[in-house]
Structures are given as structure tokens and as C-alpha cells.
Chains A and B, each alone.
Chain A
């Protein structure tokens, strides 16, 4: 159900930025690994939601950004296994003082239009 609201929001943002008389051919969406959205479902709703709009038939491209942790002890950046069976400790120095620096993104990056 969540994905329907997301799809409608992507459509609203797209149409707001589409110049009059132009048609949208592609929408580029960035999804961080931590933002729990299933892109298949969004694609499924998209075809229904966008019908009869300037974005009908547009291609939805999802760019997935992996979650990334920064070790505050040694400065290493490393990925996040999901789920992390060994916890979130730094693979290099084993420090547990780490923080999330990437993975929560969820936005429309740009759209492609033609006249």
C-alpha cells in the first residue's frame, strides 16, 4: 500500500516540473538502501497512475545507493550487510564507533522530456 502513495508522489513531482506541451520519457529516481521501497511495486502502480497524463508510458529508472558506514576510529568507509549478522563493527579495526553516511536518499533526481 505504501508504494501506491510513493508512486502518486513521484507522479505529482514529475508533472509539476514538466513544461506545458512536453511529454515525459523517463524519470530517474534515487533510492537509498535504508529507505525500504520496493521498486517493482512502484513500477506496477506507475503504469496505472500515470495513464492519461503527460508522463504516461514514461520509463522509471531506479538508481540504488548502497548504505555506507564511516568508522569514526580509523576513517574507513564500508558497506552494510543486510541483515548485519556480525553487527555494525568496522571490518578493518573492529571499532563499534561508526555512523551511517549514505543510504537514506529517496528523491526524484531528474526527468527527461521531449516536445
Chain B
């Protein structure tokens, strides 16, 4: 018997494809974000409100991952996306770099400034699969509870921005913001965080400024 040392990351194939996606986006000068969250946190609402606010200023494309329907891509198109593509994962719990690679040719990248990829609603799997986007944005929400950083540490570690949605519900839901923020800070020090409400619009300007600022970098 012989032992062959390897030390190879198990998702390296996905990472390679993600790097190809990134190269395609960079070549077309498109800034891309991957939006992840549990179901119902408000991914689609955030994207809708972002589109409504920025549609006149930026050309924004949306790729929507969903188990089976095109409801989210339809909402994105209605809210002002210049191009919207639906990926049905057929039951898969996350998008991966292959699916995005297959969706990109359906977009005219040269006609876009910003690409928003809405991942499947799931707090576990999307964290493991890079897509090739420039930033991953996690949408948390007040009703989910303040313990989520502690329960899903890998997800909170792997993101570059955090939206805390539904702050209009803070008076009605027990949510210890300090406890929540301490968990986030330990896992991901200095993470940009945007408490906001997609429903009332409170806090949206800071998020929109961050997004527009990132695109210029």
C-alpha cells in the first residue's frame, strides 16, 4: 500500500469556473454581486428597491436562482432591470459557478454596469460555492432572530456586506442587536452592515451609496 499526499481543496473545480466568470465580468467592466439569504429575508424585495432607486442611473442585469418558478425574475424585470435571466436549479439548494457560466451568455454584458445574482433561499449551501461575483451580500432580517451568526458561522464569514432587513419590525420582535452584531464582528471583523427596511425605505440610502461606490472601484 502506498499513501499519496494530495492536499487539494474539494471545491477547487467550482473555484476555477468562478474565476472564469469573474474574468468575463471584468472584461465587460460589469460589477457583480451575489445576494444570499434564508427564504423570506427579503432578497427579492431588496433587489426590487435597489432597481427602482438606481434604474435611471445604472444599467442593471439580474440573474435569479430559484428552485422552479420565474416569479423573482419577473419582479426584477418589472422593477426596472434592463435584463433579467432566470436559472431554475431543479431542486438544487444553491447556485454554483457552472450555472452562472451557462446563464452569462444570455446577457449582453457590454450593455450592463451592474449584475445582481439572486441565489437560492438557503443559509447553508450558497456560502460554499463561489460564483465569480466581486462581492457576496448577505441579507439577514429581524424576524429570523439574533442568533443566526452563531448558528450559521460559515455563511457570515464568507460575505463582504451585510444587509439587516425589516428594521421596521424591531419594536415588535425580540432582537438583541448588540448580541447579533457581536457575533458578526467576531466572525467577520469590520464587515460593512446596512440596517434597513425595504418596506419603509429607512436605511436604503447607505446601502445604495455603498453599492454605487463599490462599482466605481
B-binding residues in A (CB < 8 A): 1-2, 5-6, 9-10, 12-13, 17-19, 22, 25, 29, 34-36, 67, 69, 80, 82-85, 87-89, 96, 98-100, 103-104, 106-114
Partner of A83, one of B1, B124, B125, B147: B147
Measured in the bound complex, the distance between the Cα atoms of B208 and A39 in whole Å is: 41
Task: Give the residues in chain B near A19, CB-CB below 8 Å.
Answer: 4
B96 at the interface (CB under 8 A from A): yes
Kindly name the residue among B9, B185, B186 whose own CB sees the greatest number of chain A CB atoms within 10 A.
Answer: B186
Task: Give the residues in chain B near A110, CB-CB below 8 Å.
Answer: 3-7
Measured in the bound complex, the distance between the Cα atoms of B187 and A112 in whole Å is: 36
Q: Which of B75-83, B86-94, B198-206 is found at the contact surface with chain A?
A: B86-94
Task: Give the residues in chain B near A98, CB-CB below 8 Å.
Answer: 186
Partner of A88, one of B92, B127, B183: B183
Q: 6 closest A-B pairs (Cβ-Cβ)?
A: A88-B186, A83-B150, A2-B125, A34-B154, A83-B151, A84-B150
Chain B min CB distance to A114 (Å): 5
Measured in the bound complex, the distance between the Cα atoms of B7 and A109 in whole Å is: 4
Measured in the bound complex, the distance between the Cα atoms of B68 and A6 in whole Å is: 23
Given the interface pairs A35-B154, A114-B2, the reply to whether A108 lies near B187 with Cβ below 8 Å is: no
Chain A min CB distance to B70 (Å): 20
Chain A min CB distance to B103 (Å): 17
Task: Give the residues in chain A near B12, CB-CB below 8 Å.
Answer: 9, 13
- Nearest B residue to A114 via CB reads B1
One digit per residue, 1 when the CB lies within 8 angstroms of any chain A CB and 0 when it does not, for chain B 124-137 equals 11011000000000
**Are B1 and A113 in contact, CB atoms less than 8 angstroms apart?**
yes
One digit per residue, 1 when the CB lies within 8 angstroms of any chain A CB and 0 when it does not, for chain B 1-21 equals 111111111111110000000
Given the interface pairs A67-B153, A88-B186, the reply to whether A36 lies near B6 with Cβ below 8 Å is: no
**Are B186 and A1 in contact, CB atoms less than 8 angstroms apart?**
no
Given the interface pairs A1-B92, A108-B6, A112-B2, the reply to whether A99 lies near B183 with Cβ below 8 Å is: no
Beyond contacts A13-B8, A96-B185, A98-B186: 19 other A-B pairs, Cβ-Cβ < 8 A, are A1-B92, A2-B124, A6-B11, A9-B11, A13-B6, A34-B157, A35-B128, A36-B125, A69-B186, A83-B150, A87-B179, A88-B182, A103-B153, A106-B10, A107-B6, A107-B8, A112-B1, A112-B3, A113-B2
